[in-house]
Amino acid sequence: MANTVQDVTDRVMDILVEDGTGQWLTTELVDWYNSGQLAIATAKFDANATLGTVALVQGIKQTLTIPSIAIGRVTRNMGSTGLVPGAAITLTDFDILTLSDPTWTTTTSTPTVKHYMLDPLDPLTFWVYPGNSGGGYVEVEYSKPPTTIVYDAGPGTWATMEIEIKPGYFDTLVNYVLWRAFSKDTGSVGNLTRAEGYEASYYAAVGLKIGGRRGKSK
């Protein structure tokens, strides 16, 4: 059985020793749950990766217009309707392609893509070769932003909503919420140390270094 939002808040409340009506409100925990899912999906591409079919515009520069965080790879052509799997597309390097063919940006456009390049400055942009005629579709692997859960008082529908990121990140999500919860009141004895501990556990799990100045969660 898949884990739910309430599985996360219950685990957190067990550690906080709270019933959701005192120092830490359930609505706050749900807000931090939302922030945690997005943070994890942003830091770890595999946490919420999916496949989708994307219509190409005319030219060499393409940008995802569907809700997404980052492109992982462009896998294959999908014909003129987006329904017919076609030839695979290979990743290449912008500079290498330019060295081998300095005029590649002005070559005749076609509906079929041979190679693609990711944009190091924009995770939602990719470049295609040859330039597209504007009638093609490709399949793209991308990470999508998790659905934002809206808290409603009582049991509500929020409680039974399934966690969107992969099950392997459940503990990471719990650590994120605990970090934010204990950071809410670092003036209380021991809370700063607890917040720092859960923060470190979260960052270690997603492979990032702790940066910035710690402060109260809002």
pLDDT in tens, 72-84: 999 999 999 999 9
Residues 204, 210, 214, 218, CA torsion sign: negative
Measured CA to CA, the distance from residue 76 to residue 109 in angstroms comes to 17
User: Two tokens at 159?
Assistant: 């409680």
User: What pTM was estimated for this model as a whole?
Assistant: 0.89
Chain position carrying tokens 């005629």? 133
Where are the chain's structural domains? 5-46+148-206, 48-143
Q: For 132-154, write each residue's pLDDT tens digit.
A: 999 899 999 999 999 999 998 66
Residue 129: its H or E element: strand 125-132
| C-beta atoms surrounding 113 within 10 Å | 27
CA dihedral 34, 37, 38, 39 (to 10 degrees): 120
